[in-house]
Amino acid sequence: MIKNVFIDIDDTLLDFDKNATLAVKMAFEKVGLCYKDEYGPWFLQINDGLWRLIEEKKLTRKGLHERRFKGVLSEFGLVGDGDLIEKLFREFLFDLAIPVDGAVEILKYLSGKYTVYAASNAIYLQQVNRLKKAGMYEYLERLFVSEIIGYNKPSKEFFDACFKELDGATVENTVMIGDSLTADIKGANDYGMRAIWFNKKGAIEPNEKNYFAKVDRLQDIKKYL
């Protein structure tokens, strides 16, 4: 009997790809660099690669911030102040809250039936601000964010910290929803918790299906919860 839902934020509730692409464009324009549309997907690919390293404990968040835009600029063949662009990117991203289609509706639905907690690898205040702007914060009982916890999904320590704070929550009565096979689904599965994979990007299903359901649209979660 499911009682609790852990739900990822970026690219599950808030559209990270759209928000981040816009933040990159704004940061580039602020420093006078010409922005081209192909930079967006390129940035996301570099960023994803760095986040994989964080999930594998091979890179810290500080390392990500130091490396991200230096790498991006060199990949794009541009000359600029990587540290300044990184700072501007995060300032712009802080206020961008474009939702994933159906996110508010599904949160409203889930919070009517279960207790819903956010579980995110991110910066706490940034997530609070963006969820409030998107009208989602009120549906979340609490936010578990890696910056505060000190560990990232998929690590056991991240989920240990969540469950330690929750009375009566067990791996049997809790389900994880998220878009990332490496952070959300593997994290939940390794921890013994069921997971619903939100296949936001229409990826090919992996051979090892370590989730009990896959949805292509958030509203389809209602079929399972």
Secondary structure of residue 198 in the 3-state scheme = strand
Nearest Cα to 85, choosing from 132, 93, 77? 93
Instruction: Quote the least distance from Cβ 159 to Mg ion, whole Å.
Output: 16
Of 169 and 183, nearer to Mg ion (C-beta) is: 183
157/151 Cα distance (integer angstroms): 6
Instruction: Quote the least distance from Cβ 178 to Mg ion, whole Å.
Output: 6
Of 13 and 85, nearer to Mg ion (C-beta) is: 13
Candidates 8, 10, 15, 17; catalytic one = 8
The residues binding Mg ion (CB under 5 A) are 8, 10-11, 179-180
Count the Cβ atoms, other than its own, within 10 Å of residue 119: 27
- Whether 220 is catalytic is no
Alpha-helix runs per DSSP H in the chain: 16-30, 39-55, 61-76, 82-94, 103-113, 124-133, 146-149, 156-165, 186-191
Of 76 and 153, nearer to Mg ion (C-beta) is: 153
| Residues with a known catalytic role | 8
